[in-house]
Structure 1
């Protein structure tokens, strides 16, 4: 595993919407429990390396660059000194904000000013028992979908 990771040939993903078992954060925790990869290597496996292996690097995907797609996740500050380790104790309910193409998609209620500043219509939902704001466009997609998302109540 380390050799694949060091060569940038390892990506981690999840089929949680199909299997209903785990989300990507749970997959990261499970991968870390094997003791084979560092938190930083696991971070690369779901960002830069995954984007490159899936040939999604056009426009800066998998990294933060000027003019890139601005798909970002804002997390609570790490408890320790390793920011990459933050991913290993993170849950969907604790994510502060998700931006897709620079627009707020999901956020904690305290991120409401971000939704308003971006003029993004939103509604209140529950994610794993925690109140979140969800863009109206995503709420409509969830309602139309025949595949439910475990832990999401619209």
Structure 2
């Protein structure tokens, strides 16, 4: 059924019908979107907590099923899990920012005014001429 037909049926314009339909759909979808956003945010929170645990861990380099040792006998630290956890945390932060609209562009207005030395000299000469004209008018009026 078209907006025109709905408007005729209910006794108002097609524009009013379109507006009312849009408002009704928003009433249905906005709370659902908020619920979905909250559920996704909770998932991100759980993943983030796990990744912070990975960052707190100590990892040893393993090659051919054996721990790689330094000359001193200490195991060689494996930093790869830390780098991967850090990258995953960054992706979670980006996802969360997108989910909550933090990456939405902000409209700004910039105004740049430039004045050259020539402009300043011309303005100075104009002020000087106006002062001289005022003196001349005063002298002639007296």
Give 1 or 2: higher helix fraction: 2
Fold match, TM over 0.5?
no
Q: Report which of the two structures shows the higher radius of gyration computed on alpha carbons.
A: 2
Give 1 or 2: higher strand fraction: 1
- TM-score with structure 2 setting the length: 0.19
- TM-score with structure 1 setting the length: 0.18
